[in-house]
């Protein structure tokens, strides 16, 4: 397989996988307001349930990284898509159970199990997909740009499609979940037909393509080797990024729906929720952020790019409450800015990981990275739930600003470490 063809094949495969992961990830916040009403529960309970699935999204990443280094990326990407599709089938079944009497009902138990399955399946993708890019693609910056763009297309299309289907189907979320399971199952059928050379861009691998970790002793030794020096700082930085990401996005439809300037509209006898469409617009702005960020990873200092982006994110969190009080004319540009910058940072930290880790344990490196982003970062969901349940809303955004300031400091330190 020639280099350009292999680059295109790998880029197509990871675009497919990445778009599906984030399609499902961001459908879940659209369901949250319905679950709060249908199951007569609180943001803390639902945030904890969703947070469990999101935590497994990250906690499974180191194991996924080990499997990637041992078995290769493509099989894990296929299994990831299959598991996510099946998890939404299980969600659809949960939605058919009676569960309006309050408490932790059988429906909520089954929703929890579905999200556990989703988190485990989704955890396989990022270590596999990003390892495939950094080990198999020659034009890495472009691949990061297209990979990130595809992820954000899924990020925007998922909640938009869910919102439209909920409107058409009169909030029958279980039917929506079943419909949304179909793309993942179709994706599996497409992915198995894509042929790739997984190690075309590196030489530090065996002729068989992967080396990998064969024992707990090797895992401990490789982990100790990774979690020193620059990568340890990167690991702390991506944890901050994950906390901000979850804390900002998980309850955003609920936050927007509570604003005086954004009220439900009755249309054709149905309730039209502008908050969900504004949330989708925020996520759609991330398409530009991912693409621009990916292209810039080959053109500027990664550490300085991260520092600048997190400084902006801190500022956006601090001005959120006063800006949304102005009205719709200020809300829309604010949401566009948050979406653009929030996703701009992702290709930067993905490329930074590759700069601070060896190629032969790249899977494990991205495993630890997404343990930080989605595992530790999942704590941002219950953190936001606690803030919104027990404190004034502005407290959440002050906490998010503090997290972004921490990431800014780590990026500045990393830049001096690199120098």
Dist CA 278 CA 252 (whole Å): 10
| pLDDT tens-digit map of 133-170 | 888 888 777 888 888 888 888 888 888 889 889 888 88
Q: Given a cut of 80, is residue 217 above it in pLDDT? A: no
Which pair of tokens denotes residue 27?
A: 């459908």
> Looking at per-residue confidence, does 367 or 409 come out higher?
409
Q: Treating both helix axes as pointing N-terminal to C-terminal, what angle do 125-136 and 140-168 enclose, rounded to 10 degrees?
A: 150
For residues 389-413, average pLDDT:
92
pLDDT at 268: 62
Q: Of the given ranges (44-53, 165-174, 207-216, 241-250), which has the lowest mean pLDDT?
A: 207-216
Q: Is 93 exposed, middle or buried (0-12, 13-18, 19+ CB in 10 A)?
A: middle
Residue 359 has pLDDT above 80, yes or no: no
Task: Tell me the per-residue pLDDT of 192-203, one tens digit each, with 9 for 90 and over.
Answer: 888 888 777 675
- Pick from 41-50, 112-121, 214-223 the range whose average pLDDT is largest: 112-121
Model pLDDT for residues 265-287, shown as the tens digit of each residue: 666 666 666 787 888 888 888 88
The pLDDT, as a whole number, for residue 92 is 92
Residue ranges with strand state E in 179-288: 265-267, 270-272
Q: Which of 129-133, 222-226, 250-254 has the highest mean pLDDT?
A: 129-133
How far is the C-alpha of 141 from the C-alpha of 137, rounded, in Å? 9
**What global pTM score does this model have?**
0.75
- Tens digit of pLDDT for each residue in 283-311? 888 888 888 888 888 788 888 999 999 99
Burial 295-312 (b: 16+ CB within 10 A, else e): bbbeeeebbebbbbbbbb
- Grade residue 410 by pLDDT with cuts at 50, 70 and 90: very high
Q: Give mean pLDDT, residues 364-384.
A: 84
> Could you say which DSSP state residue 41 is in?
-
Whose tokens are 């947070």? That residue is: 51
* Per-residue pLDDT, 269: 62
Output the CA angle 263-267-273, nearest 5 degrees: 35
The pLDDT of residue 241 is: 93
- Mean pLDDT, all residues of the chain: 84
């Amino acid at each position: 397989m020639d280099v350009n063809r292999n680059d295109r094949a790998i880029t197509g495969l990871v675009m497919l996988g990445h778009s599906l992961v984030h399609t499902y990830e961001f459908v879940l916040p659209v369901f949250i307001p319905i679950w709060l009403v249908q199951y007569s529960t609180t943001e803390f309970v639902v945030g904890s349930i969703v947070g469990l699935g999101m935590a497994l999204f990250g906690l499974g990443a180191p194991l996924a990284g080990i499997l990637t280094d041992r078995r290769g990326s493509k099989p894990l990407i296929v299994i990831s898509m299959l598991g996510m599709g099946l998890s939404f089938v299980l969600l659809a079944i949960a939605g058919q159970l009676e569960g309006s009497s309050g408490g932790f009902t059988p429906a909520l138990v089954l929703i929890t199990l579905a999200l556990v399955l989703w988190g485990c399946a989704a955890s396989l993708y990022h270590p596999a997909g990003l390892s495939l890019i950094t080990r198999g693609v020659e034009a890495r910056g472009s691949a990061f740009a297209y990979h990130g763009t595809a992820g954000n297309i899924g990020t925007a299309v998922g909640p938009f499609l869910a919102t439209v289907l909920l409107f058409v189907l009169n909030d029958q979320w279980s039917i929506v979940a079943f419909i949304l399971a179909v793309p993942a199952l179709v994706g599996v059928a497409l992915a198995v037909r894509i042929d790739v050379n997984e190690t075309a861009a590196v030489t530090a691998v065996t002729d068989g393509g992967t080396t990998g970790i064969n024992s707990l002793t090797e895992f401990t030794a490789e982990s100790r080797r990774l979690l020193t020096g620059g990568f340890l700082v990167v690991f702390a930085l991506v944890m901050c990024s994950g906390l901000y990401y979850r804390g900002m996005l998980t309850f955003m439809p609920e936050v927007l729906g509570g604003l005086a300037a954004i009220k439900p509209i009755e249309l054709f006898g149905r309730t039209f929720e502008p908050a969900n469409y504004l949330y989708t617009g925020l996520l759609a702005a991330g398409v530009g952020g991912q693409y621009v960020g990916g292209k810039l990873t080959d053109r500027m200092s990664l550490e300085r790019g991260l520092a600048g982006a997190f400084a902006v994110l801190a500022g956006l969190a601090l001005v959120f409450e006063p800006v949304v009080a102005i009205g719709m004319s200020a809300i829309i540009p604010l949401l566009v800015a948050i979406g653009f910058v929030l996703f701009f940072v992702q290709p930067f930290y993905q490329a930074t990981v590759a700069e601070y880790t060896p190629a032969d344990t790249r899977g494990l490196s991205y495993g630890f990275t997404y343990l930080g982003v989605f595992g530790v970062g999942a704590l941002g969901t219950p953190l936001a739930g606690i803030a919104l349940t027990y404190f004034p809303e502005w407290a959440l955004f002050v906490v998010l600003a503090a997290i972004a300031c921490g990431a800014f400091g780590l990026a500045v330190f990393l830049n001096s470490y690199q120098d």
